[in-house]
Amino acid sequence: MGSGVYSNIGVDAVPTRTPCMENRRDLGAGRHPERSMLGIADQTVGDACSALPISGNGGLCQNSGPLRQRVQFCFLPCQQSLCLGMDPRAYFVPPMGQHRLVDRIALGKPHRLVANQGRGAFSIGHRLWGLARLVDCWNFVGDISSFAEARCRIFHRSLISSAQTLTFAPHALDWFRAPVLRPDGRYHGQIIPRLHEPGSFSMAAYLCGGLLFSTAILHLVPEVLAYGHRTENLWLLSGFFLQFILEKFSAGIEHGHLHHEAQHQCDHPLHDENHPHNHPPKDHGATEPIHRLTRQKSVLWLKNARSWGLMISLSIHGLIEGIPYRDLKIPVALRYP
């Protein structure tokens, strides 16, 4: 072994024989230098470092401080290479497709090194990869004393990741995103429940529910009961059940309910309702009122009793819920006697 390894990695290192090398020779390191990483294949890094009899040229792996674990992680291949008589600063060439070691270190994630499988480890891609990682290693955590630089890079990564979160997270911008109607007719909105997750509401709905309930309990109910009529509580109860009945007519649209359509996600063209070879409507979800509403044709909209029931119930609902605003100018002493 020897010269092949160093020329592949691209580091001019002077091979020095170490006692570890003789220990590892039975693992096939001498005969197959490209498989020399198999020696500490599946051990975790800490175990490997503690198990190794030699810790390099001292400066790299024996530092103390908060970066110790990470540095050990990073330089495990160096220790391996040291066992093989290589320069410990020569960087380990990981298999293609593995997670980028430096990035994982920068994100503070624990890293479990997997064995280099040997096959294709010395291809051109791996050489380039190894060179790039080498540069990263030297720039990044190669100098162990540059803890501040590593912290800066961690901060930078966290900034980037938070920006990515804001960009791609479905929840973060829910309030400001316009609802989208998909071309197949399914509704993909954020303010009303998202249909791909049935029953999930967004922040606006939660806030709305909390606001309405708290306002009613804290302010409106005491105010109404303080008027002193006998039948106010009866009207309160009847309003509750009136809304309960209206909800049956409007299929829960006044809460923004459309989530029963989530089960109707069949994209087959034959299941489209306006397809010329239309089959009779399927049975799934037929008991849901929203399905009974959505299954009808648009030409029948004005002739259908259900659509009229929907519109009338929505009108009554809207009329009723506008009424409590009339006392915006009532003095506070009258409001809370």
Q: Which of residues 269-298 bind another protein (CB under 8 A)?
A: 274, 290, 293-294, 296-298
Q: What interhelical angle do 232-250 and 305-322 show, nearest 10?
A: 150
Specify whether the CB–CB gap between 11 and 5 falls below 8 A. Answer: no
Residues 302-321 that bind another protein (CB under 8 A): 302, 311, 314-315, 317-321
Residues 17-76 that bind another protein (CB under 8 A): none
Residues 242-271 that bind another protein (CB under 8 A): 242-244, 246-247, 252-258, 261
Which one of residues 12, 326, 331, 333 is an interface residue with another protein (CB under 8 A)? 326
Q: Which is nearer to another protein, 66 or 209 (CB)?
A: 209
Q: Retrieve residue 306's tokens.
A: 């259900």
Nearest to 93, CA basis, from 119, 122, 56, 130: 130
| 1/269 Cα distance (integer angstroms) | 64
Specify whether the CB–CB gap between 171 and 133 falls below 8 A. Answer: no
Which positions ≥6 away from 58 have C-beta within 8 Å? none
Q: Which is nearer to another protein, 168 or 325 (CB)?
A: 325
Which one of residues 179, 282, 286, 303 is an interface residue with another protein (CB under 8 A)? 179
Q: Which is nearer to another protein, 132 or 300 (CB)?
A: 300
Rounded to a whole number of angstroms, the minimum distance from the CB of residue 137 to another protein is: 40
Rounded to a whole number of angstroms, the minimum distance from the CB of residue 192 to another protein is: 4
Q: Which is nearer to another protein, 100 or 171 (CB)?
A: 171
Residue 232 binds another protein (CB under 8 A): yes
| 180, β-bridge pairs | 188
Q: Which is nearer to another protein, 138 or 206 (CB)?
A: 206
What secondary structure letter does DSSP report for 296?
A: S
Residue 275: other Cβ atoms inside 10 A: 11
Q: Which is nearer to another protein, 118 or 189 (CB)?
A: 189
| 291/271 Cα distance (integer angstroms) | 14
The mark string for 187-206 relative to another protein (x by CB under 8 A, - otherwise) is x-x-xxx---x-xxxxxxxx
Specify whether the CB–CB gap between 261 and 290 falls below 8 A. Answer: yes
